[in-house]
A and B are shown apart, each in its own frame.
Chain A
Amino acid sequence: MDRHTKEILELLETAGLGLRALLTRLTQREDVASDLMQDLFLTLYKSNGYRRADNPRTYAYQTAIHLACKWRTSSNRNPQTKALVEEPTRNAPAPLNKLIQAEELEHVLAAIYELKEPYRYAMVMHWVQQQPYEAIADELGKTTHQVRALCHRAISQVRSLLNQTISTRQDR
């Protein structure tokens, strides 16, 4: 087996579960996450960027976020979102709750995808993947203070994008 294949398989072993979880969270669809997971690794396998990356794991996560964004904005994507935290054996969310959660979450996700890197990466890794600032700082080669600032600026940008979206919808 060549070294590159070995490295990609190692990435799958060490980060596969985390990447799959991220794709599920960002797409909110198990079937799509499953397909994107395969696309992701084949993309990485063929990518020169991945071969050259200083931190292949970070590169893989950035690619996963990009693929999820691409899927969400593609014409085939399902516009409806579904909350995955629903659990049949507990109190089920009532229809209104689902509707509101889905709508708000959809807008937040759409705004996240509008962000530029490294804001998007920092925000997703910290608040969606629950990574500490320190870990993200290591991955991005920045200080913890810088990552904290990135995350907070990202939130502020998302808020601004969301409020623009509201104006647009109210104008309709």
Chain B
Amino acid sequence: MDTHNEREILEQLKHLSQIQPRSETLEADLRRVREALLTESRKGGSQMRKIIISTSVAAGLVLVVIAAFVLLSARPATAAEMFREVIETNGAYKGWIHMTLGDLQIGDPSVLPKEIPPLKSGSQHVNTTDGTIVNVIKFEDYFTVRFMSPPRGEYSEYDGKTNQLRIGTLADVTAKSLRESASKSPTTLEGLLAILKEQQLEKLEIIRTENGLYDRYEIRLTEPETKARNDNATLFKEAAIWVNRTTKLIEKAKMQMPKNVSFMVTFTYGEPVINDVYDVGVPRDAEVVNNRPKAAVQEVLDRLDKRYRQGFGDYVAIMTETPLREDGTLETDMCALHLFAQEAEAWLSCGYLVGMRQYRNGKPRQAIDLLPGWPFPDKDTVLAAIRSAAPSEFIVSDGERTWHDYHGEMKDKLKQMIPHERAQSSLPGKIWAGRSRMGLYGPDAKVELVADDQHPRLTGLRTETMIPVTPMTKQKEEDIRWIDSAHDDVIVEEIVKRYKLDGQTLEAEFCTQYLEQKQLLNGQWYPSHWKVTLTFWRDNRPKLSNIREYHLQIWPDIKLDRSWFTDRRKLDIPNEQ
């Protein structure tokens, strides 16, 4: 890596500042801390009443009532999280719900990121029957539309500034999530209260008054909780909800948020039906950029997805990773090893550091010793060495439950991430990268077939994806991969280029050359040896960072015992039978 400048450091810190804890764990954490403190306090003989805080409750309520506020959220991840909260509800209304944001007051402009222009209004439209969701955001001079349709598998975005409509593919996992969440959208006070009860909403005050045709409910956090939430601009302080006494449907909500943000949301139901983006005002003369893959590309992607799903059946595989010195010899003190396995529904992918136990700067390196025969260590030797070693990264599933080094056990809403994580981490995912691994969804993802003289008889796939960096900026990444259709579509070469935010200046290049292919006894081909060269670019000049070599050995039909397929952070493993 080349030398750093201050702007790059600040970018990294900005990236960190956007990380938000998962709301579903906060409540439990605070409760746990409180209980621990009380236990400590009791040791000293004092008594204490139990205090209940309901962080996620408030979040849940806000999310339910103010889905439109999602549009204004400063953090995309939080926005998605917020919308996913809607899953928790039990509404019965089937059809279109239209939520319009109005009377927006932002007392503290720092609530919104600087790059977001002044907002005027916004609306969200949800079809609870099929999960279609349409967001419209109006700024002073233009408006944007996001259209996600599970039945059509379509994800489009319109940008009024450029008058351009980009049409892309909706990921299956997103489509499923939208269908589920939309079908449970709450539209009645009963629906809301059911959630609040479920989430132990003891700390809210709810006051009902009659207001013409409506019942008006004022919902207010009690003082200590309001204080506790001052740090978090996505949680409300007060809300007023108007419910139509005849239909029992929520028709209006006024929200008072921290930092002097307030707004009104109006709800209407049924008409107008939204068939496409033009129904929410996108001009008919907008330039259409259709990024959905052509039929020939779809065919290749279908093939890769199928091969990824089939994988190697039941197997055990070991992949070694060794840095190369400038003279081309292996540098064996900073290696890594990866174990992959599948047994019926259970599967795992675990990475271990190998070699030195300390970095050159003195920091500890949690590694196992270099194994005899490296880079082709014997399977049994490897398994014995890593049996009770902590992996540096892992994802493991026993077919029912899945554990991940960062996420812990992936349950509830995290479950929807499992297919994505599996595609990124598993061995078949590396060899046959399909739509999920390549990130071929969203309005900006492009994929096309390419061919050139240097790669005769190979199929070239060129993809271009835009990776969200901040709410208003994306970073371009280009990937050209060559696959060998004559050898089970295994990958032969890949070059990934990432560009700076200007979309033109190259930032980094990741070149993988697959040097050898082998066949399993059943005839199935796989790459057995490859080299990865990582190059960073500064001032349009390449700065070679490192070269690594990989060797892969696969043993089909070999089974690990079931104790491997469990949480690898907990290494209370019985001896091998």
Contacts and interface: CB of A to CB of B under 8 A. Distances in A.
Interface string A61-98: 00000000000011111111011111111111111110
B84 to A, nearest CB: 8
Contact of A84 (B19, B334, B390, B477): B19
B494 to A, nearest CB: 10
Given A1-B41, A89-B177, A155 B9 contact: yes
A147 B41 CA distance: 37
Contact of A159 (B6, B21, B230): B6
B20 A21 contact: yes
Given A1-B46, A21-B20, A14 B230 contact: yes
A42 B38 CA distance: 10
Contacts of B15: 83, 85, 101, 105
B48 A12 contact: no
Interface stretch (A48-56, A127-135, A137-145): A127-135
Interface stretch (B241-249, B314-322, B402-410): B402-410
A106 to B, nearest CB: 10
B18 A5 contact: no
A90 B9 contact: no
A117 interface: no
Contacts of B14: 127
A158 B231 contact: no
A127 B13 contact: yes
Contact of B510 (A18, A96, A123): A96
B48 A1 contact: yes
A149 interface: no
A104 B3 CA distance: 11
Nearest to B439: A92
A99 B512 CA distance: 14
B446 to A, nearest CB: 12
A16 B6 contact: no
A94 B37 CA distance: 42
Contact of B465 (A14, A77, A82, A94): A94
A18 B231 contact: yes
Contacts of B406: 28-31, 82, 84
A30 B479 contact: no
Contact of B16 (A1, A13, A105, A168): A105
A37 interface: yes
B10 A127 contact: yes
Contacts of A12: 30, 33-34, 37
Contacts of A24: 19-21
A116 interface: no
Contacts of A20: 21, 26, 29-30
A6 B379 CA distance: 57
Contacts of B575: none
Interface residues of A, number: 81
B228 A21 contact: no
A91 B466 contact: yes
A102 to B, nearest CB: 10
A91 B441 contact: yes
Contacts of A146: none
Contact of B393 (A78, A84, A89, A159): A78
Given A83-B15, A91-B441, A130-B17, A16 B30 contact: yes
B13 A108 contact: yes
A47 interface: no
Contact of B442 (A13, A42, A91, A127): A91
B309 interface: no
A78 B405 contact: yes
Interface string B391-416: 01100000000000111100000001
Interface stretch (B134-142, B192-200, B360-368, B454-462): B360-368
B34 A9 contact: yes
Contacts of A97: 467, 475, 477, 498
B451 interface: no
B544 to A, nearest CB: 10
Contacts of A38: 29, 32-33, 36
Given A28-B19, A94-B438, A88 B26 contact: no
B450 interface: no
Nearest to B84: A89
A1 B405 contact: no
A97 B498 CA distance: 7
Interface string B549-572: 000000000000000000000000
A30 B363 contact: no
Given A9-B37, A42-B40, A94-B465, A79 B17 contact: no
Contacts of A172: 334, 360
Contacts of A96: 477, 496, 498, 508, 510
A108 B12 contact: yes
Contacts of B84: 89
A89 B37 CA distance: 38
Contact of B227 (A13, A132, A158): A13
B53 to A, nearest CB: 7
B393 A25 contact: no
B536 to A, nearest CB: 8
Contacts of B361: 165, 168
A38 B15 CA distance: 26
A94 B496 contact: yes
B358 to A, nearest CB: 10
11 contacts: A20-B21, A20-B29, A21-B21, A33-B21, A78-B393, A80-B405, A89-B174, A90-B76, A104-B8, A128-B13, A128-B16
Interface of A: 1-2, 5, 8-9, 12-18, 20-21, 24-26, 28-31, 33-34, 37-38, 41-42, 45-46, 73-80, 82-97, 99-101, 103-105, 107-110, 123, 127-130, 132, 155-156, 158-159, 162-163, 165-166, 168-169, 171-172
Interface of B: 1-6, 8-10, 12-22, 25-26, 29-30, 32-34, 36-38, 40-41, 44, 46-48, 51, 53, 55, 75-77, 80, 84, 110, 171, 173-174, 177, 224-225, 227-232, 334, 351, 353, 360-361, 363-366, 390, 392-393, 405-408, 416-417, 420, 424, 436-439, 441-442, 444-445, 465-468, 474-475, 477, 479, 496, 498, 507-508, 510, 534, 536
